[in-house]
Amino acid sequence: MLSERRLEVLRAIVQDYVGTEEPVGSKALTERHKLGVSPATVRNDMAVLEDEGFIAQPHTSAGRIPTDKGYRLFVDKLAGVKPLSSPERRAIQNFLDGAVDLDDVVGRTVRLLAQLTRQVAVVQYPSLTRSTVRHVELLSLAPARLMLVLITDTGRVEQRLVDCPAPFGETALADLRARLNSRVVGRRFADVPQLVQDLPESFESEDRGTVSTVLSILLETLVEETEERLMIGGTSNLTRFGHDFPVMIRPVLEALEEQVVLLKLLGEAKDSGMTVRIGHENAHEGLNSTSVVAVGYGSGDEAVAKLGVVGPTRMDYPGTMGAVRAVARYVGQILAES
């Protein structure tokens, strides 16, 4: 195990490097931190830390920079989560309170996160499968054409067109609407399929085809939308990546464009508690020089979706984690209210 002072040296290296973006040497360390020992001693400690793989030198005779493993140790053992200042908290609340609908909530959240962390923010829309049904609406657009509208407790709305095999009367429509709602309102989306399974049987034979069609489109929507939607923002913060950024930024932008990649990224995060993935811990290789800080959020106890930020491994972990956690909490509150 590393001695107390060596950990302290590592912490100092991480902090300085995050601040200056330049390899940090033994002398500078002793000047900026009160370690109580001389540069020579620090050099010895650094040699040990390097042997253990926590830090590395970009070139011989340069200072050291933390490795992914070094950041990992820093995050796990050396750094706490820095709580936000109360003006910041108030700003968050004010900003989120102005939202008029779900799109707006998500949009504001993304902007907020990006601004607070000065990194790229990713927010997943509340998941359908983990939400409950608030209402199912059926509208008649034409004699044989319906519109199906799903509304969740988190305010999300999905709509689909349904082409009926046969004309469908207003009374049958009202009937179907009523039965559908009585069965599924307040239930989880995941349970919907089995709840509506036997519905067609209770209809006149001439309407059964349409009822089945409606139900199959309903189920299809649930499946399709299980691939969740998400919103990203703050991509211009990528320009603060570092001097070598032209080469780094390309794969990151590409990864960010692939919703699938991002969803997988958030999916890998633990359901509860905050997840930090550092550099090569990310499966996608375009993100090997980035870190991802993600956390679940929800209207109740349970997470209905996740949000987080993507930034350079060289990031202010305590501050970022604090901001991510705070935003997730407030968004949860907002969703619970609506």
CB of 268 to its own copies, least distance (A): 22
> Which residue in 75, 215, 256, 309 binds its own copies (CB under 8 A)?
256
- Yes or no: say if 328 and 307 are a contact pair by the CB < 8 Å rule: yes
Q: In this structure, how many other beta carbons lie within 10 angstroms of the beta carbon of residue 205? A: 7
Q: Is 161 in the site for its own copies (CB under 8 A)?
A: yes
Which residues 278-337 are close enough to bind its own copies by CB under 8 A?
A: none
Half-sphere exposure of 35 (CA within 13 A, CB side): 26
Q: Is 101 in the site for its own copies (CB under 8 A)?
A: yes
Element housing 163 (H / E): strand 157-163
Q: Which residues lie across from 233 on neighbouring strands?
A: 121
64 binds, among DNA, its own copies, none (CB under 5 to 8 A by kind): DNA
Examine residue 203 and tell whether it contacts its own copies (CB under 8 A): no
Coil, helix or strand for 150? strand
The yes or no reply on residue 34 touching DNA (CB under 7 A) is: no
Q: How far is the CB of 249 from DNA (least distance, A)?
A: 20
**Residue ranges in 49-68 that form contacts with DNA under rule CB under 7 A:** 50, 57, 59-64
Separation between Cα atoms, residue 209 and residue 197, nearest integer Å: 14
Nearer to DNA, 46 or 120 (CB): 46
User: Which phi and psi (to 5°) does residue 148 adopt?
Assistant: -105, 125
The 10 Å Cβ neighbour count of residue 225 is: 17
CB of 209 to its own copies, least distance (A): 21
Which of 9, 12, 46, 79 binds DNA (CB under 7 A)? It is 46
Picked from DNA, its own copies, none, the partner binding residue 24 (CB below 5 to 8 A depending on kind) is DNA
333 binds DNA (CB under 7 A): no
Q: What number of chain residues touch its own copies (CB under 8 A)?
A: 35
- 3-class secondary structure per residue, 44-93: HHHHHHHHCCCEECCCCCCCEEECHHHHHHHHHHHCCCCCCCHHHHHHHH
First-to-last alpha carbon distance for the chain, in angstroms, is 51
Interacting partner of 311 out of its own copies, DNA, none (Cβ under 5 to 8 A depending on kind): none
Q: Does 19 bind DNA (CB under 7 A)?
A: no
Q: Is residue 134 helix, strand or coil?
A: strand
* Residue showing tokens 């032209």: 246
* Residue among 280, 273, 315, 319 nearest 294 (CA): 273
- 139 near its own copies, rule: CB under 8 A: yes
- Nearest Cα neighbor of 310 from 155, 119, 125 is 119
CB nearer to its own copies: pick between 233 and 279: 233
Binds 47: which of DNA, its own copies, none (CB < 5-8 Å by kind): DNA
Residue 39 as a binder of DNA (CB under 7 A): the answer is: yes
Please say which residue, 41 or 181, places its beta carbon nearer to DNA.
41
User: Minimum CB separation from its own copies for residue 60, in Å?
Assistant: 28
- Number of other CB atoms surrounding residue 186 within 10 Å: 11
CB of 248 to DNA, least distance (A): 16
Strand partners, 66: 55
Amino acid identity of residue 220, one-letter, is E
Residue with smaller CB distance to its own copies, 38 or 236 = 236
Residues within the interface to DNA (CB under 7 A): 5, 23-28, 36-41, 43-44, 46-47, 50, 57, 59-64
